[in-house]
Amino acid sequence: MTIIDRLPIRVHSYMAPDDSLNVTTHLIETPHRLIAVDAQFALGYAQEVVAYAGTLGKPLDRVVISHAHPDHFQGAGRFGAPVHALAAVRDGIVAQGDGRDPSGAVIPVADMTPTRTIEPGVEVIDGVRLEFAALSGGEATDELVVRLPEQGVLIAQDLVFHHTHLFVGNNDLAGWRAALDALAADPGYDTVLPGHGLPAGREVFTEMAQYLADARELLGDDGEAYKKAILERYPDWRAPALIDIGNQYLFGPLPG
């Protein structure tokens, strides 16, 4: 858990271990309540976040889901709060049906389905200004970005990965670069919270742009060749399993 103090708020950024792809949940602590952004993949790690939230002594107002990839929404039911998302993200979650925890337990789709619709724009919650923006193209087809303009904090989720390998299975590297450039063009944010990895500064935009350029160069028609080449360029980046997952979307399951 990394804590970012920006009075009158604090943001508590939880990064799951390597076995859950270093996926993140961010708790925005306002003067009187908590707002969670994304809900983890493994129910056990979702429960860790919920237990930590309980130590803060404030009610959990809502869970905001950024996009319809299971590693960000499967644990939503554990939070015991209304689940909010863009309409397109909600529909994407419903279309996937029941989920499955790494333990093997089935997660009913009703436990994960957002019940409140987010409209892009500004919302003031407990005196704190939040800006919700919908972006299309990139790591997922539809993504929600949450800005805290008065605190200089950008919750970019899976439009930004920090020193973890990228999931490129959506096969829209050009759209991703365009979305990234749009985020980087706004100088008002010095803290960037990613969907995978630890909190970062603005340098993460340059790092991401280089990785996307390298992925575009190296990604051909052989998933194993791509994995070998991208690992050689980024040997110290975490969550290489994200490469394998992306390859399954692009090239199908590995033989055998």
Overall average pLDDT of the 63-79 stretch: 98
Instruction: Give the Cα separation of 200 and 216 in Å (integer).
Output: 24
DSSP 3-state helix, strand, coil percentages of the chain (rounded to 5)? 35, 30, 35
Per domain, the residue ranges of the chain are 2-164+172-201
Q: Does position 255 have pLDDT exceeding 70, yes or no?
A: no
pLDDT number for residue 254: 60
3 state DSSP class of 15: strand
The alpha-carbon radius of gyration of the chain (Å, integer) is 17
The residue whose two tokens read 């809900």 is 39
Tens-digit pLDDT profile for residues 18-49: 999 999 999 999 999 999 999 999 999 999 99
∠ CA 157-161-164, rounded to 5°:
140
Q: Does position 256 have pLDDT exceeding 60, yes or no?
A: no
Overall average pLDDT of the 154-158 stretch: 98
Burial class from Cβ neighbours inside 10 Å (0-12, 13-18, 19+) for residue 204 reads: buried
Average pLDDT over the chain reads 96
Overall average pLDDT of the 222-236 stretch: 97
Tens-digit pLDDT profile for residues 101-114: 999 999 999 999 99
Overall average pLDDT of the 188-210 stretch: 98
Burial class from Cβ neighbours inside 10 Å (0-12, 13-18, 19+) for residue 187 reads: exposed
List 135's β-bridge partners, or say none.
143
Q: Does position 253 have pLDDT exceeding 90, yes or no?
A: no
Q: Does position 5 have pLDDT exceeding 60, yes or no?
A: yes
Q: Where are the beta strands (DSSP E) in the chain?
A: 2-6, 9-15, 24-29, 34-37, 60-64, 83-85, 99-100, 106-107, 116-117, 121-125, 128-136, 142-148, 153-161, 191-196
Domain covering 2-164+172-201 assigned CATH 3.40.50.2300 in the classification: no
